[in-house]
Amino acid sequence: MAMAGLLAGCGSGAGGSDNGTLTAYVYGDDAVKVQQAAVDTFNKTSDVKVKLVSVPGTDYVNKLRSAMGSPSAPDIFFNWGGGSIKPYVDSDDLVDLTSTVKDDPTLKDGFLPSIMTAGGLDGKVYGVPMRGMQPVMLFYNKALFAEHKLEAPKTWQDLQKAIATFKAAGITPFALGGSDKWPELMWMEYLLDRIGGPEVFQKIQNGDTEGWGDPAVLKTAQTVKELIDDGAFGKNFNSVDYGNGGAPTLLNKGKAAMHLMGSWEYSTQLGKAPEFAKKDLGWTAFPTVAGGVGDPANVVGNPTNYWSVNARTKHKDAAIAFLKTMASKSYSKALVDNGDIPTTSNAASMLSTSPNPEFANDQYEMVQKAPSFTLSWDQALEAQYATPLLTEISKLFAGKTTPEQFVEAMKAAK
Amino acid sequence: MSVHTPHAKRRGDRKAAVGNVGRPPVGWAVPGILFFALFAIVPLAIAVYLSFTTWDGLDSPTLTGFDNWTRLFKDSEFGQAAWLTLLLTTISWAFQTPVALLLGVWAAGRQRTRAVLSAIFFIPLLLSTTAIAMLFHALLDPNFGVIKEIGPWLGIDPNVMGSSTGALLVVAFVGGWQFMPFHTLIYQGGARQIPEVLYQAASIDGAGMVRQFFHITLPQLRHTMTTSSVLMIVGSLTYFDTVLIMTKGGPGTDTTILPYLMYRTGFQTYDLGYAAAIATALVIVATGLSLLLVRFSGFGSMRSTREGM
């Protein structure tokens, strides 16, 4: 790592491409096959060939970071937009795509506008959407809700009634993978959105750490504390994780009634407990919070993933030509078949062929109608804020700090 | 003087008679030295250099003087991590040493069953730390792990990894479980070196098993214990994989020991200059501790363990 950096220090920045190839880094998971197919199609007609490098998920961010600081940087790379690309924007590593998108109807009208904006920074576009949307939703066990004569919660009152009912029945109201930290973040994101509206976090995202001092943040942290003290997450959520399947299993075994999770929870459940996923897995939007000013139609999560172009590339035109294929109907179709919901404006008509059209349609509608789509905080903020944020949230959930201390710690983060 | 002269003379004789024949020329060491320099000395020097810079991994590092170092002393998180590291090291040492010592001495016997059992005890060391951490993580899952069934029966809260002390003890235990066989092996080797005559003499004088252990075995294993302790302490100071996989530094920051703090600062926050300062501090502490240990245990003077024989 240090060696790579020193090399970068004196490297001339030639870019990773030679002999007419573009290197594209992509987050290596099941969806890579969709991108590989797109690359194969593109290479058939293009002189400049794209070479897809699939980096295993857990290593992706580190590997990209080291590569971008080295002479062998990728030409195109997968990212989450927002804070995840801020360091690269700051060091002038990215191609500003704003005018390209504005002048090109394929790109301009091809995607949902809110999605395109969510991936940019300071009103500029640095990325083109390339994967499905991942809003965070409230999943629940339909069988348990039916058994206790409850409806999916729409208001905070509903939610509290559900918590009380399930607690009385010895069922943990919410599964929570606290050991992984980021599932706890989702609670903060939704609560702050419902209590103070999306503007509070937008202010923070725009670099104003004083934004953490907003009364809505304190209220959010207090609400979290109330939920914990009330036993809404059970007693041992600190040693439960998401990655190893702890939290999803609680939901599908009926030990927990609800689970706040990204839309990928559906495919996770389909993989772990197909019977449950098909029959008893329900989903709904995050309920309203009493006294909150946020629009209950707002969504948080990952709008989608984006391709960004390295400013040092030798084949900028070819790179942009490749990005345009992301708006094509055939690419959207391939995403749908893989169980993803594309962020293209024409996606709605294709969702009937999705593995679960009902889930796909609900999700698409939820995002399409959302007045605001807040990017997950840990992706929206730069690493230097995101990591302390996750640590402080974990301390709050573990009862190591008070809501007031959480606010102070975040205001002081630098 | 009378001791030294023949010794020096002998060495001189050998040199005169044999010259450099038995000893390979310095040239042979060059690849080794180069390798060591390239993969140990150079990176260490770079880390020290980086500790005086701010670097986000993308642009070139900027020199900022002692900023990172002054920050280190004011940072309460660093203080907590240093304290946790020392605590973990102490717990690990106190937990591993007695068990490894007793097992090692026992395994130094020559019965066949002992050989077989020793081989079985050795197994944990052969597994990768990652595999062990994942295994214990699964066993300690509060809802689906073995701990849920046997925990209450043993009087242990199944939420052991979710509690501050529990999580730290788990990390120490898992590390101990893995590395104890190694230390057992060291003690076994040490115990086998103890001359049988000492025990025979003690038996004649009427000393029992326990007395023999405390008056012969233990003193004779003094230097073995130093070796094992140095390895154990340096090992605990760099303990990382178990924390990363099992607790991720949590709950809160209650298992965020220095190596994990360094990882988080360097490879999650991308504050590589500060991470280098933490790493350098860790090197200084580890070197200092091993030197201290070696000095106070008399290892440096190389006295014979068989003095008085």
A249 touches chain B (CB under 8 A): yes
Q: Which residue of B has its CA nearest to A70?
A: B58
User: Is residue B12 predicted with pLDDT exceeding 70?
Assistant: no
The answer to whether residue B273 neighbours chain A at the CB level (below 8 Å) is no
Can you give chain B as a three-state secondary structure string?
CCCHHHHHHHHHHHHHHHCCCCCCCHHHHHHHHHHHHHHHHHHHHHHHHHCCEECCCCCCCEECCCHHHHHHHHCHHHHHHHHHHHHHHHHHHHHHHHHHHHHHHHHCCCCHHHHHHHHHHCHHHHCCHHHHHHHHHHHCCCCCCHHHHHHHHHCCCCCHHHCHHHHHHHHHHHHHHHHHHHHHHHHHHHHHHCCHHHHHHHHHCCCCHHHHHHHHHHHHCHHHHHHHHHHHHHHHHCCCHHHHHHHCCCCCCCCCCHHHHHHHHHHCCCCHHHHHHHHHHHHHHHHHHHHHHHHHCCCCCCCCCCCCC
Average pLDDT over residues B102-126: 86
Is B308 a residue whose pLDDT tops 80?
no
Q: Which chain A residue's Cα is nearest to B76?
A: A409
Q: Is B61 on the interface with A (CB under 8 A)?
A: yes
Closest-CA residue of chain B to A389: B269
- A54 lies within 8 A of chain B by CB: no
Q: Using omega within 30 degrees of 0 as the cis cutoff, is the peptide bond preceding B259 cis?
A: no
Sequential DSSP letters for A98-148: HHHHHH-HHHHHHB-HHHHHHT-BTTB---EE-S--EEEEEEEEHHHHHHT
Split at pLDDT 50, 70, 90, the class of A258 is: very high
- Could you tell me which chain A residue has the CA closest to the CA of B264? A387
The ipTM is 0.82
Minimal CA–CA distance to A195: which of A232, A163, A223? A223
Identify the CA nearest to A237 among candidates B62, B308, B163.
Answer: B163
B67 touches chain A (CB under 8 A): no
Distance from CA of B128 to the nearest CA of A (A): 18
Which of B285, B275, B307, B273 minimizes the C-alpha distance to B237? B285
Residue B268 and residue A387: Cβ atoms within 8 Å? Answer: yes
Among B54, B84, B141, which would you mutate to test the A interface (most chain A Cβ atoms within 10 Å of its Cβ)?
B141
Hey, is the C-beta of A86 within 8 angstroms of any chain B C-beta?
Answer: no
Q: Determine, for residues B270 and A5 on separate chains, whether the beta-carbon distance falls below 8 Å.
A: no
Q: How far apart are CA A147 and CA A140, in angstroms?
A: 13
In chain B, pLDDT over 90 holds for what percent of residues? 49
Task: Report whether A53 contacts A25 (CB < 8 A).
Answer: yes
Interface test with B, best of A174, A239, A395 (most B CBs within 10 A): A239
Q: Would you say the C-alpha torsion B280, B286, B287, B289 has a positive or negative sign?
A: positive
Helix, strand or coil, per DSSP, at residue A217: helix
B271 close to B67: Cβ distance less than 8 angstroms: no
Q: Does A62 touch chain B (CB under 8 A)?
A: yes
List beta partners, residue A50.
A22
Q: 3-state class of A259 per DSSP?
A: strand
Q: What is the model's pLDDT at position A356? A: 87
In angstroms, rounded to a whole number, what is the distance separating the alpha carbons of residues A392 and A121? 25
Looking at residues A227-248, what average pLDDT do you find? 90
Q: Do A181 and B47 touch (CB under 8 A)?
A: no
- A137 vs A267: CA distance, rounded Å: 13
Please list every residue in chain A whose beta carbon sits closer than 8 Å to the beta carbon of residue B62: none
Q: A186 with A180: CB under 8 angstroms?
A: no
Residue A201 DSSP symbol? H
Contacts of A87 in chain B (CB under 8 A): 56, 58, 270
Question: Could you read off the pLDDT of A131-144 as tens digits, one per residue?
Answer: 999 999 999 999 99
Centre a 10 Å sphere on the Cβ of residue B180 and count the other Cβ atoms it contains.
23
Nearest CA to B85 out of B161, B160, B172, B176 is that of: B172
The pLDDT value recorded for residue B298 is 61
Pairing between β-strand A256-262 and β-strand A172-175 as defined by DSSP bridges: parallel
Closest listed residue to residue A343, CA positions, set A198, A131, A121, A166: A131
With beta carbons less than 8 A apart as the criterion, state whether A82 and A75 touch.
Answer: no
Please provide the average confidence, as pLDDT, over all residues in chain A. 89
* DSSP-based three-state secondary structure for A151: coil
Question: Hey, what amino acid is at B204?
Answer: I
Please count the CA atoms within 13 angstroms of the CA of A329 that sit on its side-chain side.
Answer: 4
Residue with tokens 């880094």: A25
The type of residue at B284 is I
How many Å apart are CA A174 and CA A256, to the nearest integer? 6
The whole-number pLDDT of residue A2 equals 40
Whether A246 and B249 lie within 8 Å, measured CB to CB: no
DSSP letter string, A347-409: GGGGGGGSSSHHHHHHHHHHHHH-S-EEE-HHHHS-HHHHHHHHHHHHHHHTTSS-HHHHHHH
CB contact under 8 Å between A6 and B163, yes or no, is no
Q: Band the pLDDT of B235: cuts 50, 70, 90.
A: confident
Mutation site for B-interface testing, chosen from A63, A238, A241 by largest number of B Cβ within 10 Å: A238
Confidence of residue B9 (pLDDT cuts 50, 70, 90): very low
Q: Residue B8 pLDDT > 50, yes or no?
A: no
Q: How far lies A6's CA from each of A70, A90, B41, B43, in Å?
A: 9, 19, 16, 11
**Across B296-303, average pLDDT:** 58
Residue A253 has pLDDT above 80, yes or no: yes
C-alpha to C-alpha distance for A138 and A95, rounded to whole angstroms: 37
The verdict on a CB contact (< 8 Å) between A179 and B142 is: no
Tell me how far apart the alpha carbons of residues B99 and B96 are, in angstroms, rounded to a whole number.
6
Share of chain A above pLDDT 70, in %: 95
> By CA distance, what is A401's nearest residue in B?
B252
Give the pLDDT confidence of A146-191 residue by residue, as tens digits.
999 999 999 999 999 999 999 999 999 999 999 889 999 999 999 9
Contact list, B158 vs chain A (CB under 8 Å): 236
* Token reading at A185: 């973040």
Tell the residue number behind the tokens 């300071």, with chain if given.
A122
pLDDT at A211 over 80: yes
Angle (nearest 5°) at CA B95 between B91 and B98:
140
Phi first, then psi, for residue A21 (nearest 5°) are -125, 150
Q: What is the pLDDT of residue B299?
A: 55
Instruction: Please name the residues in contact with B216: beta carbons below 8 A apart, sequence gap of 6 or more.
Output: B194, B198, B199, B202
Is residue A103's pLDDT more than 70?
yes
Residue A96 contacts residue A126 (beta carbons within 8 Å)? yes
Residue B14 has pLDDT above 50, yes or no: no
Contact B252 A91 (CB under 8 A): no
Nearest to A239 among B55, B162, B270 (CB): B162
**What pTM was estimated for this model as a whole?**
0.84
Q: Work out the average pLDDT over B86-111.
A: 91
Report the distance separating Cα B250 and Cα A391, nearest Å: 8
**Helices marked H in A197-264:** 199-205, 215-229, 246-252
Instruction: Determine the distance in angstroms separating the CA of B303 from the nearest CA of chain A, rounded to an integer.
Output: 42
**Cβ <8 Å between B159 and A236:** yes
Check CB contact of A401 with chain B, cutoff 8 Å: yes
**Residue A287 clears pLDDT 70, i.e. is over it:** yes
**CB-CB neighbors (< 8 A) of B142 in chain A:** 236, 239-240
For residue B167, what pLDDT is reported?
A: 93
- What is the CB neighbour count within 10 angstroms for residue B215? 13
Calculate the alpha carbon distances from B272 to A2, A390, B53, B87, B255 in Å.
9, 19, 8, 26, 21
B187 with B104: CB under 8 angstroms?
A: yes
What backbone torsions phi and psi does residue A22 show, to the nearest 5 degrees? Answer: -110, 130
| Side-by-side strand order, sheet with A21-28 | A49-56, A21-28, A76-79, A306-309, A128-129
Instruction: Number of A to B CB contacts under 8 A, please give it.
Output: 114
Is A244 in Cβ contact with B138 (below 8 Å)? yes
User: With contacts defined as CB-CB under 8 Å, which chain B residues touch A233?
Assistant: none
Residues in B closer than 8 angstroms to A179, CB to CB, are 161-162, 247-248, 250
CA distance B57 to B55: 6
From chain B residues 156-185, the ones with a CB under 8 A of any chain A CB are 158-164, 167
The predicted model gives B279-291 an average pLDDT of: 88
Phi and psi based region of residue A10 (left: phi greater than 0; alpha: psi -120 to 50; beta: remaining): alpha
**Closest approach of chain B CAs to the CA of A62, in angstroms?**
7
Between B25 and B32, where is the model more confident? Answer: B32
Do A340 and A333 form a contact (C-beta atoms < 8 A)?
Answer: no
> What would the pLDDT profile of B15-30 be if each residue is shown by its tens digit?
444 555 677 788 888 9
Q: How far is CA B275 from the centre of its chain?
A: 22
pLDDT in tens, B242-260: 999 898 988 989 999 999 9
